[in-house]
C-alpha cells in the first residue's frame, strides 16, 4: 500500500512517499523524497513513484509470473502498465470519490453486461432503477427486475461475504435471477449454445469443483492473475452451469477475481459483443490467445476511461 513514511534524522523530520513492490520471491521498497514537510499537492510525486514501480515490475516480469504458451511478454507488459496506471489513479482518490467511482462504474457495468444478454434498457434507465428514481411504467418489468437484481449481486461481490466457492456462485446466480422465472441452482437439462452442447447437468458440480481447484492450483504456481481469471471465465462459460444467467454471473466473478488480485475492473461493452463471443468461442476450442489479446485491449481502454466515472 502506498503511504507516507516519516524518517527522523537528528530530530528533524524527512518525509517519503513509499511502496513495497513484489518482485518475485521478495518485496522491494521504492520511495520518493517529499521534503521536510508534506506538500499539499502530491501529484508529481505520485507520478515519479509510479514510474519507478513500472520500471521495477517490467524489469522483473519473468521472476514475478510464470508465463504459459498462450501468453506472451508483450501482453503482460500491457496489462501491468495498465494495472499500475489504475493503481495510482485510485491512490489519488479520497474515500468519497472512490465510492462515487464504484457506484458509477456499477451502473455502466450492469447496463453493458445486461445489454450483451439482450436487455433494451438505456443506461439512463438503468441508472434510475439502481438509484430508485422515478421510472416509466411502460418499461419491461422483467428488465427492471434484472437491473434491480444486478446491483444487489454487484454489492454482493464487493462485500467481504463473497468467497469463491460453489455455494457463493449459486447464491450469486440466485440474486441475479430472483423473480425472473429462471430455474435456481445448477441446470437440470441439456443446453445448446451456438450449436455446441454445453457440459451435461450430471457433470456440472464436478466440472465446477475441478475449475475452482485448477484456479487455486495455478494461482499458487504464480500464473499471471489477469490471464488466469480470463481462462477461468472462458471455462465457466463453456460449462454453462445454469439454465440462464451464465454470462452475467461469469462477468461478475471475473470482476471479483481481478479486483481481488489488484487489477481493478474490466468493462466488456455491447458494441464489442460479437468480438467478445467470438473470443470465447475460440477459447472453447482451445485457442486462448484470441481471448487474451481481445481482453488486453478492453482492459487498457477500461483503465483509460477510469476518469469518466467521476
| 285-307 pLDDT tens trace | 999 999 999 999 999 999 999 98
Reduced to 3 states, what is the DSSP secondary structure of residue 182?
A: coil
User: What is the grid cell recorded at 191?
Assistant: 443446453
- What mean pLDDT, rounded, does the chain reach? 95
Residue 281 has pLDDT above 90, yes or no: yes
CA angle 206, 158, 290 (to 5 degrees): 60
DSSP E strands: which ranges in the chain? Answer: 3-9, 12-22, 27-35, 192-193, 196-197
The ranges assigned to domains in the chain are 1-63, 95-309
CB neighbour class for 29 (10 Å; exposed up to 12, middle 13-18, buried from 19): exposed
Contact 265, 196 (CB under 8 A): no
CB neighbour class for 149 (10 Å; exposed up to 12, middle 13-18, buried from 19): buried
- Compute the Cα dihedral for 291, 295, 298, 300 and give only its sign: negative
Contact 231, 293 (CB under 8 A): no
| 160-176 pLDDT tens trace | 999 999 999 999 999 99
pTM: 0.95
Contact 60, 21 (CB under 8 A): no
Residue 178 has pLDDT above 90, yes or no: yes
Segment 183-207 shows an average pLDDT of 93
Query: In angstroms, rounded to a whole number, what is the distance separating the alpha carbons of residues 207 and 203?
Result: 6
Residue 184's pLDDT is 95
**pLDDT tier at 24 (50, 70, 90 boundaries)?**
confident
What percent of the chain stands above pLDDT 90? Answer: 90
Tell me which CATH code domain 95-309 carries. 1.10.3290.10
Residue 196's pLDDT is 84
- CA separation, residue 228 to residues 220, 223, 288 (Å): 11, 7, 11
Contact 157, 250 (CB under 8 A): no
Residue 278 has pLDDT above 90, yes or no: yes
| 31-82 pLDDT tens trace | 999 999 999 999 999 999 999 999 999 999 999 999 888 999 999 999 999 9
User: What is the grid cell recorded at 274?
Assistant: 460479437
What residues are paired with 143 via a beta bridge?
none
| 92-139 pLDDT tens trace | 999 999 999 999 999 999 999 999 999 999 999 999 999 999 888 899
Amino acid at each position: 500500500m502506498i503511504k507516507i513514511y516519516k524518517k527522523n534524522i537528528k530530530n528533524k523530520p524527512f518525509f517519503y512517499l513509499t511502496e513495497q513492490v513484489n518482485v518475485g520471491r521478495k518485496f522491494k521498497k521504492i520511495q520518493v523524497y517529499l521534503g521536510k514537510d508534506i506538500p499539499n499537492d502530491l501529484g508529481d510525486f505520485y507520478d515519479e513513484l509510479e514510474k519507478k514501480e513500472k520500471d521495477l515490475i517490467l524489469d522483473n516480469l519473468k521472476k514475478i509470473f510464470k508465463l504459459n504458451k498462450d501468453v506472451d511478454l508483450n501482453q503482460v507488459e500491457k496489462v501491468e502498465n495498465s494495472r499500475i496506471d489504475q493503481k495510482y489513479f485510485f491512490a489519488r482518490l479520497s474515500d468519497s470519490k472512490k465510492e462515487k467511482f464504484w457506484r458509477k462504474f456499477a451502473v455502466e457495468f450492469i447496463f453493458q453486461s445486461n445489454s450483451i444478454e439482450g436487455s433494451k434498457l438505456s443506461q439512463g434507465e438503468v441508472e434510475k432503477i439502481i438509484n430508485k428514481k422515478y421510472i416509466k411504467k411502460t418499461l419491461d418489468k422483467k428488465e427492471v427486475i434484472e437491473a434491480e437484481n444486478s446491483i444487489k449481486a454487484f454489492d454482493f461481490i464487493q462485500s467481504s461475504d463473497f468467497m469463491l466457492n460453489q455455494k457463493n456462485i449459486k447464491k450469486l446466480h440466485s440474486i441475479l435471477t430472483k423473480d425472473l422465472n429462471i430455474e435456481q441452482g445448477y441446470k437440470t437439462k441439456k443446453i445448446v449454445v451456438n450449436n455446441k452442447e454445453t457440459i451435461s447437468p450430471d457433470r456440472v458440480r464436478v466440472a465446477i469443483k475441478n475449475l475452482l481447484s485448477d484456479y487455486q492450483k495455478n494461482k499458487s504456481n504464480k500464473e499471471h492473475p489477469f490471464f488466469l481469471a480470463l481462462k477461468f471465465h472462458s471455462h465457466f462459460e463453456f460449462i454453462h452451469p445454469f439454465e440462464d444467467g451464465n454470462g452475467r454471473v461469469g462477468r461478475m466473478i471475473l470482476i471479483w477475481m481481478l479486483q481481488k488480485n489488484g487489477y481493478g475492473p474490466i468493462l466488456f461493452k455491447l458494441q464489442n459483443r460479437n468480438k467478445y463471443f467470438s473470443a470465447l468461442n475460440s477459447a472453447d476450442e482451445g485457442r486462448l490467445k484470441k481471448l487474451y489479446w481481445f481482453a488486453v485491449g478492453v482492459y487498457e481502454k477500461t483503465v483509460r476511461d477510469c476518469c469518466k466515472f467521476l
